[in-house]
Amino acid sequence: MKSAVPYVRLNPTRQNRWRLAPHAQAAGYEAWPSLEEIFPTRIQGINPNRGITGSVIDVDKKLLADRIAAYIGADSFAYATSACPALAMPRANYTPEIVWKGLRKLGFDESRLKPYLLFPFDQRWIYYEDRLNLLNRPRETLAANVDCECFLIAVPEPRKVSEARPLFSRTLLDLHVHDRGSVAIPAVIRLDALAGARLANLSPEIWAALREAWGAMGGLETSDAHLCASKLIHICLAIMNSPAYRLDHASALGADWARVPIPRHSALVRRLGQLGGLVAALMDCSTDSASGVREILGRDKLASIAAIRRSDGHPISADDLRVTISYFGAAPGRFVQTDDVSGELWINNNVYLANVPITAWRSEFGGYQTIRKWLGYRHVTRLQGRPMTLEEQRSLRNMILRLTALSALEPQMDELYSAAVEDALIVGNEMPSIQAAE
């Protein structure tokens, strides 16, 4: 009997890792270098694996410091358990009492409280201890390079459409910023922690091509190379967050590392670098984005977005900031569309954020609906019944503004992505095989 399904001829290539799997390609895509080929050093995000609430992670630096100090300074393990039950729970390759005894010898160290990106646009603090197995996977290489300019956060073979969108950070970051598992790509790498030598995180072949095309000079240790690596990360941010780019290469992006058209000519390099710099500033939750948001959205529009209100018109009190509407998992949450462009985002039955752009509400990064993910982890059941702090409420509004501004930049991203395709630098096909750092 003749099959109703026609056979498809597969053409595996070196660029698609000789995969016997169908995926459509837009013209030119396989000629562009992949993130793997551009950036030799790639480091997996930290995997604490000790829980989120009441563990080594917190939204409040002081609360985290007090909790860890009490845990380490307890007179006995029984007292330590009451100070921080989450760290007293046995796990694979983790014997809490043995680790606690080691921590007691080392003592509490405030300098180990580090900014930490947990999920997209969800900046917190972590007690980063890499001398003992307090953390499941501390990623010492990541910590050693945390001051080396910036990190592009990406994932190979994303399982979800929004995981193909890279993020940006200047801080330590979690393995699950992307649901599948995030990889940090530094612009500059520190080869020797003692000597302090730093090299641009570029393959020799890419650097040779950029020197010729962009008029740069010197070796990977030079400021020219460092600047080019940072600029290239910004260019990747601008292009890979373009909706047109993700639509054109949807099937290919799910098969391997993303490939990026690197522009040759200085005017386009400058425009893409500036746009990517704006994208980076909006994504970097460890720094203030007010000026960038104001530049993109305008002062008048800015004032009306995501204003917090009570339904009865009364002033907002700190106790009103309890998130009692569930946004976690399959819970529906409560976003009420009020017109074609905006809606009300409710956190409980009395309090909501007015004029929240639909584009921000629907925005997805890392395999998550961003606002839903953020609110899901602020539900009262996950905060031991406490309301959000005023700082968290400000962070929620700030996230909505950042997402709105990023959405407003998408037409520019599409325009410059299209220009980069026409101006793409073609690097030789014999790219080296490159291994991740961890």
Q: What is the mean pLDDT of residues 383-403?
A: 94
Percent of the chain with pLDDT over 70: 90
pLDDT at residue 7 is higher than 90: no
Q: What is the mean pLDDT of residues 79-97?
A: 93
Whole-number mean pLDDT of the chain?
A: 90
> How much is the pTM?
0.89
Give, for 308, the enclosing helix (H) or strand (E).
strand 307-310
Task: Output the pLDDT for position 12.
Answer: 60
- Which pLDDT band, with edges at 50, 70 and 90, does 17 fall under? very low
pLDDT at residue 19 is higher than 70: no
Percent of the chain with pLDDT over 90: 82
Single out the residue of 104, 109, 115 nearest to residue 76, CA to CA: 104
- Return the SS3 of 115: strand
pLDDT at residue 20 is higher than 80: no
Task: Output the pLDDT for position 26.
Answer: 45
The residue length of the chain stands at 438
Give the C-alpha separation, 330 to 70, whole Å.
Answer: 37
Per-residue pLDDT tens over the stretch 297-319:
998 889 899 999 999 999 999 89
Chain mean position to CA 86:
25
- Which pLDDT band, with edges at 50, 70 and 90, does 93 fall under? confident
Residue scoring higher pLDDT (6 or 100): 100
Give the C-alpha separation, 366 to 165, whole Å.
Answer: 7
Task: Output the pLDDT for position 301.
Answer: 87
Task: Output the pLDDT for position 433.
Answer: 36
Q: What is the mean pLDDT of residues 137-143?
A: 93
DSSP H helices, 139-265, are 140-144, 204-214, 223-240, 243-248, 250-253
Give the C-alpha separation, 234 to 278, whole Å.
Answer: 9
Single out the residue of 170, 118, 126 nearest to residue 370, CA to CA: 118
pLDDT at residue 434 is higher than 90: no
State which amino acid sits at residue 167: L
Which bin fits 403, alpha (ψ -120 to 50), beta or left (φ > 0)? alpha
Per-residue pLDDT tens over the stretch 318-364:
899 999 999 998 899 999 999 999 999 999 999 999 999 999 999 99
Give the C-alpha separation, 59 to 71, whole Å.
Answer: 18
- Return the SS3 of 372: helix
Give, for 79, the enclosing helix (H) or strand (E).
helix 77-83
User: 2 exposed, middle or buried (CB, 10 Å; 0-12, 13-18, 19+)?
Assistant: exposed
pLDDT at residue 371 is higher than 90: yes
Task: Output the pLDDT for position 53.
Answer: 86
